[in-house]
Amino acid sequence: MKNFYKRGLTVIELIVVVAVLGIIFSIVIPQFSKMRENQVLKSTLNDITSSLKKAQTETLASLDSSSYGVHLQSDKVIIFQGTVFSVGDANNEIINIISPASISDVTLAGVSGDSGDLYFNRLSGTPSKTGTITLTTPNFSKIITISVTGAISVN
């Protein structure tokens, strides 16, 4: 009588298992990558809006009897004291933007470019410039709008 219960796996069974796992991973891994990218975008969006609100709040609180502003670059946001951004100022607070997110466009008071500055007025908290900040990743994009009243909204 032949032994029908052989132990071990055949080469064909191994190939089928590897093929099935390959198909599953090729579907799942890109989705995880997009989820991570979306989380980076949300985190960066929060960092930028928080920076704008912090500058506005510190201005309204008359912290150090000064206005505060935000300098925007593609890879960072810098909160500065006063109405003019100075690169080497020790009071600057730098918030780095996590890759793959970046600020792709800043349009403030009708001036378009890859960087921009705005500060908040001491008595009213209104911004010196209004406009939009476009934040992008390879698959996603969000726009932050700064209104005349200083309200910050996200689409």
Burial profile 99-124: b = 16 or more Cβ within 10 angstroms, e = fewer: ebbbbebbbbeeeeeeebbbbbebee
pLDDT of residue 30: 82
pLDDT of residue 63: 86
Where is 44: in which H helix or E strand?
Answer: helix 11-60
pLDDT along the chain (155 residues), means of 10: 66 92 89 90 95 96 92 94 91 94 87 71 91 94 94 93
pLDDT of residue 105: 92
Preceding peptide of 100 cis, ω within 30°: yes
pLDDT of residue 31: 84
User: Distance (Å, rounded) from C-alpha 134 to C-alpha 113?
Assistant: 11
pLDDT of residue 45: 95
Which residue segments constitute the domains of the chain, with CATH numbers given? Answer: 11-154 (3.55.40.10)
pLDDT of residue 143: 96
pLDDT of residue 9: 75
User: Distance (Å, rounded) from C-alpha 73 to C-alpha 65?
Assistant: 26
Q: Model-level pTM?
A: 0.78
pLDDT of residue 112: 54
pLDDT of residue 79: 96
